[in-house]
Amino acid sequence: MRVLDSHLHLWDPDLLEYTWLEGPLARRFAEAELADAGLPGATETKAVFVQAETVEDRFLDEVRWVEGIADAAGVVAIVAGMRLDRGVDTVTHLEELASHPLVIGVRHILQGDDDGLAMSTAFVTGAREVANRGWSFDACIRAAQIPEIARLAGAIPELRIVLDHLGKPEVGTAAEPRTPSAEWVRDLDELARHPNTFCKLSGLPAEAGGDWSRAQLEPFLDVAADAFGDERLMWGTDWPVSAIGPGLAEGDDAADGSDVYRPTARGRWFQTVTAWAEDRGHDVDAILWSNAERFYRVGEAAGSPDEPPRRGIRGWLRGE
């Protein structure tokens, strides 16, 4: 079974600055750690790196760092961090990103921004520049912002947009599950009416605080499938963000129940979504591989086979 993880994070706080990392996430997660978070049953595994929100003035450094470990981590494409509402600076940043062949899209995290920003003149102008380059846009938002992204999709139909983490609906926990809200279902349906939009089956374990069950989350997967169909869903792990959960008394986790990193969580989400897709009769290969490959145009992002070897991060820092 071939697997293209459409939503993988990597970071190293010793090399780049991240103001949001805390607790068990506040350490290096890169190629070595990823190797210990395998996907049982996968015969071929690749990944799309999605920017991990280093500080804004290090966005390009993040791209360079990931390029240096891309082969070891199985990364075949990069969704770069940027701000789309910076006017001339946005255009300059896009031009700088264009020199990096693995970059196939961008992400401006909107979940903490003011309502309406995605439809502001500055943002829409920046988003049009992304579309003009044939790149995609990852929408990282809260559920209440989905209508705004639907309006953006209507305003720029040539811009390919993917909704990260199903728009982060409230899912509850395994012990106290929530059902999909009528508002979220309505807004997801409205977004899906735009053929340029896709949806990632990712991030729900993190929304549950790492305390989740298949039965709890399957209703949300069902709603996404009803809205977008097999051909516009893509699976992603949101690793390692979605690999954090309360410790367990048994095993190697923290016996006091505090949050810990669980190396097996990535594989658990893979098995959960695969089993759900198989049980529902969905196109498993499309969800696990070909939809993400088509959306991100992965084959077009890999660069020339004659391209010189990438420098390691230490060499780049030394200017080699």
For every one of its 320 residues, what pLDDT tens digit does the chain have, with 9 covering 90 and above? 999 999 999 999 999 999 999 999 999 999 999 999 999 999 999 999 999 999 999 999 999 999 999 999 999 999 999 999 999 999 999 999 999 999 999 999 999 999 999 999 999 999 999 999 999 999 999 999 999 999 999 999 999 999 999 999 999 999 999 999 999 999 999 999 999 999 999 999 999 999 999 999 999 999 999 999 999 999 999 999 999 999 865 555 556 678 999 999 999 999 999 999 999 999 999 999 999 999 999 976 433 333 333 333 333 333 33
Give me the pLDDT at residue 310, please.
Answer: 34
Query: Measured between alpha carbons, how far is 77 from 100 in angstroms, rounded to an integer?
Result: 10
Q: What pLDDT, on a 0 to 100 scale, did the predictor assign at position 247?
A: 80
- pLDDT attached to residue 213: 97
Q: Which of 138, 317, 303, 313 is nearest to 236 (CA)?
A: 138
Q: Using CA atoms, how far apart are residues 167 and 169, in angstroms rounded to an integer?
A: 6
**255 burial via Cβ count (<10 Å: 0-12, 13-18, 19+):** exposed
Angle between helices 146-155 and 121-132 (to 10 degrees): 60
E strand or H helix at 314? helix 313-317
In the chain, where the domains are located: 2-317
pTM of the entire predicted model:
0.91
pLDDT for 99: 97
Task: Please provide the DSSP assignment of 68-79 as one string.
Answer: HHHHHHTEEEEE
Name the nearest CA neighbour of 252 among 243, 262, 267. 262
- The CATH number given to 2-317 is 3.20.20.140
Residue 1 neighbours by CB under 8 Å, 6+ apart: 41, 42, 43, 44, 274, 284, 285, 288
What is residue 306's predicted lDDT score, i.e. its pLDDT? Answer: 34
User: Quick one: which of 184, 185, 106, 187 has its CA closest to 148?
Assistant: 187
Residue-wise DSSP of 8-53 = E--B-TTTS--SS--GGGSS-BSHHHHHTS--TT-SEEEEEEE---
286 CA to centre of own chain: 17
Tokens 């103001």 correspond to 19
